[in-house]
Amino acid sequence: MLAKKTNGIPAYKRIQEEIRTGIDGGQLRAGNVVPSERELARIHDVSLMTARHALASLEREGLVERRRGVGTFVAAPKIHFNKLMSYTEQMGSRGLTPISKVLFTKIIDNEEEATARLALPPRSRIFKLERLRHAAGGEPFALETCYLSAEQFSGLQSAPLQKESLFSTLQRDYHVELSYSDEEVDATAADPRTAELLGVPKRAPLLRIRQVIYSTKGVVILYVLGLYRSDRHNLVIRRYR
């Protein structure tokens, strides 16, 4: 048996929940040291095996990373490319609360790249949504800009996107089921405005991801341009043969 139980909850799960709460509340941030197995065993009055099991499970979830001979640290958020997920779903899968700040929503007709990627005629009216994504504790880590057809998604400007997932809003209010995306990943440098928003030096390296997202009917629905702090993200790519 790996652990004692308190109120029916195994000790290793209580240890995991305490660490998750620390990450979610910002007391533990990416790169911070997590108590060692020996420390956790002493603090929670459990066996070393129980503490080891708790950390191993958190490592499999991607919440912490263990460096041999150094210690255990809070892991930077990871982007998983093998599944199309909204930011809300990404955070939820890690037991974290999604935090976003809507910087603006507007209707535009003058961004040629976005129009082309949405497969719309030139000068089409496009809904543009810019949001600043925050990690647990309020640290900004991504600037995300979404583009959709203003004609197809009339009224989207009034949706409570500060609190709700865009994916969920599209599904609930417009009956759109998203299916897959084509993505381009490269590196870029932070311009002055992006640097200020993300809290990095000007010209700092950023991870840039361009997504063209399709519905289950194969129709382009959404173009997303994401700029991510490279010191807060790892790419996790699973390849099959």
Cα distance between the two ends of the chain: 38
Single-letter residue type at 182: D
Scan for tokens 């976003």, then name that residue. Answer: 100
Residue 2: per-residue pLDDT: 42
Closest C-alpha to 54, from 70, 68, 39: 39
CA distance 154 to 148: 10
- The confidence score (pLDDT) of residue 235 equals 62
Using a 10 angstrom Cβ sphere, with 0-12 exposed, 13-18 middle and 19 or more buried, the burial of residue 132 is middle
Domains of the chain: 5-74 (1.10.10.10), 78-236 (3.40.1410.10)
How is residue 232 written in tokens? 């807060």
Please, what sign has the CA dihedral across residues 124, 190, 140, 60? positive
Q: What is the pLDDT of residue 193?
A: 96
Instruction: Calculate the alpha carbon distances from 21 to 29, 76, 97 in Å.
Output: 11, 16, 10
Q: Among 74, 224, 93, 203, which residue's Cα sits nearest to residue 137? A: 74
Is the pTM higher than 0.85? Answer: no
Please list the pLDDT of the chain residue by residue as tens digits (241 residues).
344 555 667 888 889 989 988 887 778 887 889 998 899 999 999 999 999 999 988 888 778 888 888 889 888 766 555 566 656 556 555 555 567 889 999 999 999 999 999 999 999 999 999 999 886 667 788 899 999 999 999 999 888 888 888 988 999 999 999 988 888 989 999 999 999 999 999 999 999 999 999 999 899 999 999 999 877 666 666 555 6
237: left (phi over 0), alpha (psi -120 to 50) or beta: beta
pLDDT number for residue 152 = 95
